Amino acid sequence: MNRKPNIALVGVTGVVGTTFLKVLEDRNFPFENLYMMASAKSAGKEILFKGKTYIVEELTPESFDKDIDIALFSAGGSVSEKFAPIAASKGVIVVDNSSQWRMDKEVPLVVPEVNPEAILENKGIIANPNCSTIQAMVALKPLHDAFKIKRIVYSTYQAVSGSGVKGIDDLKNGLAGNDTTNAYPHPIAGNCIPQIDVFTDNGYTKEEMKMINETHKILGDENIRVTATTVRVPVFDSHSESINLEFEKPFTIEEVKDVLSKAKGVVVQDDLSNNTYPLARSVAGTDEVYVGRIRRDFSLDNGLNIWVVADNIRKGAATNTVQIAEELLKHI
């Protein structure tokens, strides 16, 4: 592109939407014109961004009649289902943060450190993966390339910010002694809830099935056996994951650490003598994926355990979306 792009942010007043703004500023993302869109109840709100005041406009089918090159969506699945095709029909490339398009065969599902080439397959819509899948993929793709993964067991410990404002409020209220819940089926303060999203007929939650299905799609290998248990924990920011892997090829721990230390977007924190490993609190506010507790699983051949932590609102949502837009700029 010979000029700076015109960008639209859809759902700009939500938790991820406001983080879009932080990430765009932090990464100095180039743009000519910026349009901020949200629901009718947020229309008219003023937002100061990079020294300029923007007025949030109501999202309507006519919103994309403007000259817009890229639209970053984070307004929920029903909004994306309705408005993303409208935007795409008018020449806008949509990067969508909802679950609406992720498993659509016509829509690429992209983690820029993992499969940036898939961006070129877009037909107007690109899907941002689930937050817990994104951080896992950044860590697992280089290991898959080196040793070929046969099986993955995910166990996640997910922050309340993944549920938006309601989840954050549930934890704040619970810590203050009020167990009224709006986001969860049980109080989250002092609790671990082994249910994220609703249960499906097979006994897994939708969140667990997202991790399983998205892993297959992003890695491009349906033969990898994947299972998952996703748990909501009383942490405000950053998802933590215990990931157990079985490889086809043998490895040494030194080789694993070397692969991860050279991987794009990965930071290895693994110094047991100093109790150093990734922590949700220290990772919050960053864009990298942190890996530690790297150790052999002695219960099977070629088994490995790793601990993976990332900021679920930044890398798990806003940053990954902006990174996709950055990749797009190379091709449009």
**Are 14 and 29 members of one domain?**
yes
Position 81 in a domain: yes
For 123, 308, 330, the CA distances from 106, given in Å and listed in that order, are 7, 30, 21
Position 253 in a domain: yes
Position 2 in a domain: no
**Are 201 and 325 members of one domain?**
no
In this prediction, residue 196 carries a pLDDT of 98
**Are 173 and 280 members of one domain?**
yes
In this prediction, residue 321 carries a pLDDT of 97
pLDDT digits (tens, 9 = 90+) for 100-158: 999 999 999 999 999 999 999 999 999 999 999 999 999 999 999 999 999 999 999 99
Position 311: which residue type? D
Position 189 in a domain: yes
Position 1 in a domain: no
- Residues with a catalytic annotation lie at 131, 239
Instruction: Name residues of the chain where pLDDT drops below 70.
Output: none
> Model's pTM, two decimal places?
0.96
In this prediction, residue 1 carries a pLDDT of 72
**Are 160 and 246 members of one domain?**
yes
Core vs surface per residue 123-141: b (16+ CB within 10 A) or e: ebbbbbbbbbbbbbbbbbb
**Are 206 and 322 members of one domain?**
no
Using left for φ > 0, alpha for ψ between -120 and 50, and beta otherwise, residue 107 falls in: beta
Place of tokens 């938790």: 15
Position 243 in a domain: yes
**Are 157 and 64 members of one domain?**
no
Find the CATH number of the domain harbouring 280: 3.30.360.10
Find the CATH number of the domain harbouring 90: 3.40.50.720
Neighbours of 36 (CB within 10 A): 25
Position 258 in a domain: yes
Domain count, the chain: 2
φ, ψ at 155 (rounded to 5°): -130, 115
Query: Could you tell me the residue range of the domain that residue 60 belongs to?
Result: 7-128+317-329
Position 286 in a domain: yes
Q: Are 315 and 135 in contact (CB under 8 A)?
A: yes
**Are 137 and 74 members of one domain?**
no
In this prediction, residue 332 carries a pLDDT of 80
Using left for φ > 0, alpha for ψ between -120 and 50, and beta otherwise, residue 281 falls in: alpha
The number of angstroms, rounded, from the C-alpha of 48 to the middle of its chain's C-alpha atoms is: 25
Q: Are 154 and 233 in contact (CB under 8 A)?
A: no
Residues 6+ apart with CB under 8 A from 43: 56, 57, 58
Is residue 164 helix, strand or coil?
helix
**Are 223 and 305 members of one domain?**
yes
**Are 138 and 212 members of one domain?**
yes
Positive/negative CA dihedral, 276, 277, 280, 285: positive
**Are 284 and 143 members of one domain?**
yes
Q: Cite the beta strand spans of 159-288 per DSSP E.
A: 225-232, 239-247, 266-268
**Are 83 and 200 members of one domain?**
no
**Are 102 and 76 members of one domain?**
yes
Is residue 270 helix, strand or coil?
coil
